[in-house]
Amino acid sequence: MQFKIGKDGIIKDIKARGPSVELEAEAKRVVATLPKFIPGKQKGEVVVVPFSIPIVFEVKGDGNKKQVTKSYDELVAQRDRILKNSNENNALVTELNHQIEILEVNKKEGKIPFSIVEEVPVHQDCKGISNKSDQKKCTISAINKHVARSFNTDLASSLGLPEEQIRIHVQFTIDKQGDITKIKARAPHPKLEEEAIRIIKLLPQFAPGKEDGIVVDVPYSLPIVFQVHSSKKD
């Protein structure tokens, strides 16, 4: 996984290489949800900073009752191997610790992220699909289509924002009843955050996600990206 943190602190030039196109697309989606950074500097001048990160997990078969635990163990083992020849300041160790902490917190709170939950929450348009992988793809597509159809992209122009690419980071939870809860949005303007929250609230009730046959809360992250065009007419 490679990307750059631009002089404006925005993630760009995201590249991924994996064993399938679907995994590459998922990796890019996750990285695209990163918030805007304070840009890096070299000798006092703002610079573009390349960043590389490996994404490592273990694929299990249908009997994957301990999928999350095994993934956790793999992350811990990888971190410990690196620490034999390095220290806690190693960038990869820092990232692995972060992933380990997320899994620990989610497991304690009964929350399993959409990217790894055994049975994803299913959008109403996808309930007729029996294959779990296809259900996941269909649900992601349905959410993206809803956002693209419902978001008022002209709002940014009316707010006088510069003509550039706008990135809004949205997080929400699909709870044990399949309802959308805990919606959060981060954007360059409060009105854009309000618009993002408004359209996410319009999503229908889902069939809830499950892990080991038990209904769980499923956090979901979504980047909304669009280009601002001037509202002035010649």
Residue range 152-163, pLDDT digits in tens: 877 877 887 777
234 has pLDDT over 50: no
Which candidate, 40, 14, 30, places its Cα nearest to that of 165? 14
b (16+ CB within 10 A) / e for 146-162: bbeeebeeebbeeeebe
Q: Is the pLDDT of residue 124 over 90?
A: yes
Whether residue 210 is predicted with pLDDT greater than 80 in this model: the reply is yes
Answer whether residue 66 shows pLDDT above 50: no
For residue 7, name the pLDDT band (cuts at 50, 70, 90): very high
Range from 12-16, 61-65, 100-104, 128-132 carrying the lowest mean pLDDT: 61-65
Q: Is the pLDDT of residue 138 over 50?
A: yes
What whole-number distance in Å separates Cα of residue 45 and Cα of residue 134? 47
Confidence grade of residue 68 (pLDDT, cut at 50, 70, 90): very low
DSSP assignment of the chain equals -EEEE-TTS-EEEEE---SSHHHHHHHHHHHHTPPPPPPEEETTEEE-EEEE---------S--TTHHHHHHHHHHHHHHHHHTSS-TT-HHHHHHHHHHHHHHHHHHHTB--TTT-SB--B-GGGTT---HHHHHHHHHHHHHHHHHHH--THHHHHTT--SSEEEEEEEEEE-TTS-EEEEEEE-SSHHHHHHHHHHHHTSPPPBPEEETTEEEBEEEEEEEEEE-------
So what's the pLDDT on residue 60?
Answer: 42
